Copies of this chain bind each other. A is one copy, B any other.
Amino acid sequence: MIAGIIGATGYAGAELLRLLNGHPKITGFNLSSVSFEGEKIEDIYPNFLGRISSVLQKAEDVIASSDVVFSALPHGVGEKYAEACIGRKIHYIDLSADFRFGDDEVIFNDWYGKKYDFPNLHKDSIYGLPELNRQKIKELTSKGAVIIGNPGCYPTGALLGVYAALSKGLVCDSDTPVIVNSASGTSGGGREPARSFHYSECADSTAPYKIASHRHSPEIARHMAFMTPAGAKPPKVIFTPHLVPMNRGILSTIYISLSEKWRITPVNNNLQPSKEIKEKTLEIRQLYSDFYKDEPFVRVLPDGVTAATNRVRQSNYCDISVHIDINGSTLIVATAIDNMVKGAAGQAVQNMNILFGFDETDGLKAIPMIF
């Protein structure tokens, strides 16, 4: 099967190449780039030297000769290619934000400054978080070519951290927001040099950015709403991204106010975690384990192990550890993903595997690197 990648020279495109190159069903590539058309991908990324020598083509040519198309373009420029793929009856997996909001054009327009060019395409597109939408993706494939909006990196780690809790009624029905405090590596900022990612400016430092104004906020809120059981109130969300000096990885620390049923009144407010808290933590951990037990890429960590980005490095895993605050009222969930894999290219491959009925772990079996 020939895979096409539109916008192959960005980091997400190049990471896709790395993963698809090890995929047992992929036999070749078609790659496009506006900036580097006519050049070889191995000359743009010398790490591919001697391995992937494809010449960068026009997007149209890629679409015309591929069996599946991934788009790793910037936001707002890819709809016409989705249209072309549907026209050719091939699946289109979009790593940009263009198809993450379904028919909710208002939000997209408000946060991305652009209206839909092809509103109809969005109605039938689907948000490609397999843990949430696997069944729907499978159903759609029975009807023809599918457009998948591959989730954002931060939303992936945030949503998988709350899905079990939301589904099982652990989340308080009050106005207390779910707080998602995330730290990302620099690869999330892409390949283009910028002051924020200039080594001397970001090494050996940590800082939040786009507080209360990051585009992933509405994406997280929207899909948390879909995760909320019928009848329950979707949570408000506060999302704060931070840049930390590492290449890969997103660590999300999520604060969830527990519903009445799950709260504990600690014996002594000032003292160390009580026995009741420890027991309740184990109970919730078990609930999470059960909830995700058939998921190939979600690992609910055992007691005593805390999510860390270097334990999922270069893999498609989302690691989750669950904790209860000393006061007994707040569930703290830590999730770790590799932002370039489960947060981008790996999840796109996972979606392709679902679309084509492949083993969902094909091309994604690598064990996380320790360092």
Contact = CB atoms under 8 A, between A and B. Distances in A.
Contacts of A111: 272
A179 B371 contact: no
A191 to B, nearest CB: 7
Contact of A212 (B209, B270, B332): B332
A246 to B, nearest CB: 4
A261 interface: no
Nearest to A334: B208
Given A110-B272, A213-B272, A245-B245, A301 B46 contact: yes
Contacts of A238: 255, 325-327, 330, 332
B181 A191 contact: no
A367 B18 contact: yes
Contact of A52 (B181, B257, B367): B367
A245 B311 contact: no
A308 B207 contact: yes
A176 B175 CA distance: 10
A50 interface: yes
Specify how many copies of this chain sit in the oligomer.
Answer: 4
A102 to B, nearest CB: 14
A176 B314 contact: no
A305 interface: yes
Contacts of A242: 183, 251, 253
A122 B257 CA distance: 37
A84 interface: no
A299 to B, nearest CB: 6
A212 B309 contact: no
B273 A213 contact: yes
Given A191-B200, A238-B327, A301-B46, A270 B205 contact: no
A164 interface: no
Interface in A164-193: 175-177, 179, 181, 183, 185-187, 189, 191, 193
A222 to B, nearest CB: 8
Interface of A: 11, 14-15, 17-18, 21-22, 45-52, 106-107, 110-111, 175-177, 179, 181, 183, 185-187, 189, 191, 193-195, 197-209, 211-213, 217-218, 221-222, 236, 238, 240, 242, 244-249, 251, 253, 255, 257, 269-273, 277, 299, 301-302, 305-315, 319, 321, 323-327, 329-330, 332, 334, 336, 365-371
23 contacts: A47-B369, A48-B367, A50-B299, A110-B272, A176-B257, A183-B183, A183-B242, A197-B198, A197-B199, A201-B310, A201-B371, A203-B203, A203-B245, A204-B310, A205-B309, A206-B246, A212-B332, A213-B272, A222-B270, A238-B326, A242-B253, A314-B369, A366-B366
Given A107-B270, A212-B332, 11 more contacts: A18-B366, A45-B370, A49-B305, A183-B183, A191-B195, A199-B247, A201-B310, A206-B309, A207-B309, A208-B251, A236-B329
